[in-house]
Amino acid sequence: MLSRILVPMDDSEPASHALEYALDNHPDAEITVLHVVGVPSMMMGDAVGLTLEDDLSDAAADRAEPVFDRALEVADERDREIRTIVGIGHPARNVIDRADDYDAIMLGAHGKDRNRATRRFLVGNVAETVSKRATVPVTIVR
């Protein structure tokens, strides 16, 4: 039985499906939603913009808020509570670095992308990277 599950989320539909899956199939588990901000891009746009903020923690929390609002809405629909945490940097690295604190990871098959090339280069392979390198079981939800 799984008691602690990490659900990495962006604001994509597959990420919401992963959270729904975790909540529906593991009613007794503590669910933690991770949103990673400051994702590197080929031009370093989001990462550089975040580092220029006066208070990095506040800026990261502000950028994560819409994703957490959606996650809390999904949890509320199921009369469940979730925890939320913000990561900064590369999504796959953030998930892998936290894996040992959880019994399993559940994530969407594809994340949100701003363009097709970026998705495959950085975001599209997050699920693949996590599934290969995580130290705990990984469920990829479509």
Neighbours of 50 (CB within 10 A): 17
What's the pLDDT score for residue 50? 58
Residue 142: pLDDT above 70? yes
- Which domain does 87 fall in, by range? 4-141
Q: Which helix (H) or strand (E) holds 28?
A: none
What's the pLDDT score for residue 14? 93
| Residue 54, SS3 per DSSP | coil
Structurally, the chain folds into a number of domains equal to 1
In tens, the pLDDT along 109-141 reads 875 554 455 444 444 588 999 999 999 999 999
Mean pLDDT of 60-70: 94
pTM: 0.84
Distance CA(135)–CA(88), nearest Å, equals 21
pLDDT mean across residues, the chain: 85
Tokens of 20: 């729904």
